Amino acid sequence: MPKNILVGYDGSETARRAYLFALELAACARAKVHVVSVIQLDNGADTSALMMTGAGEERLAGLSEEIAALGRPAGVPVEVELVHGSPGDALLSFVAGHGVDHIVIGHTERGALARWLVGSTSTDVLAKAHVPVTVVR
């Protein structure tokens, strides 16, 4: 049974469903849930501005409020984290650095052109993860 569950969270409906699924799994396994949202940085001036200002802290506070509003069962510890980078790589780095032993991630169906242009975080995580992954639709 998992002890540390990561939920990739981007605010989408499937991410909310993934979070709720992870809570149920954590309640059964007496596990901790790590809700991780990724700020995808490009190489422009916005990157420096974001990292040097309180924008990241504001986003983390908003994310924490959103997660709290979704609720959680008593006894299930939930941590909300904000990381920077490419979504798939950032989530997998978090897994390696925090003893995560199960990933729960949402998947939104996109057309072939959209997948080609921006990729799919769930596909990236599935291809590279060394722990079990549950994809929620």
Comparison of pLDDT for 47 and 30, the residue scoring more: 30
Q: Choose among 132, 131, 113, 104: nearest CA to 20.
A: 104
pLDDT, averaged across the chain: 86
pLDDT at position 49 is 56
* pLDDT level of residue 115 (50, 70, 90 thresholds): very low
Residue 79's Cα: distance from chain center in Å?
11
Tell me what the mean pLDDT of segment 33-42 comes to. 88
pLDDT at position 55 is 74
116 pLDDT higher than 50:
no
Q: Are 22 and 67 in contact (CB under 8 A)?
A: no
* CATH code assigned at 99: 3.40.50.620
pTM of the entire predicted model: 0.86
Per-residue burial over 18-42, b = 16 or more CB atoms within 10 Å of its CB, e = otherwise: bbbbbbebbeebebbbbbbbbbeee
Q: Are 78 and 67 in contact (CB under 8 A)?
A: yes
Q: How far is CA 41 from CA 6, 66, 105, 108, in A?
A: 21, 22, 20, 21
Query: Total structural domains in the chain?
Result: 1
Tell me what the mean pLDDT of segment 28-33 comes to. 97
Residues spanned by the domain of 79: 4-136
52 pLDDT higher than 60:
no
Amino acid at site 87: P
pLDDT at position 53 is 58
The string of pLDDT tens digits covering residues 65-107 is: 999 999 999 999 999 999 999 889 999 999 999 999 999 999 8
* Cα separation, 124 vs 49, whole angstroms: 28
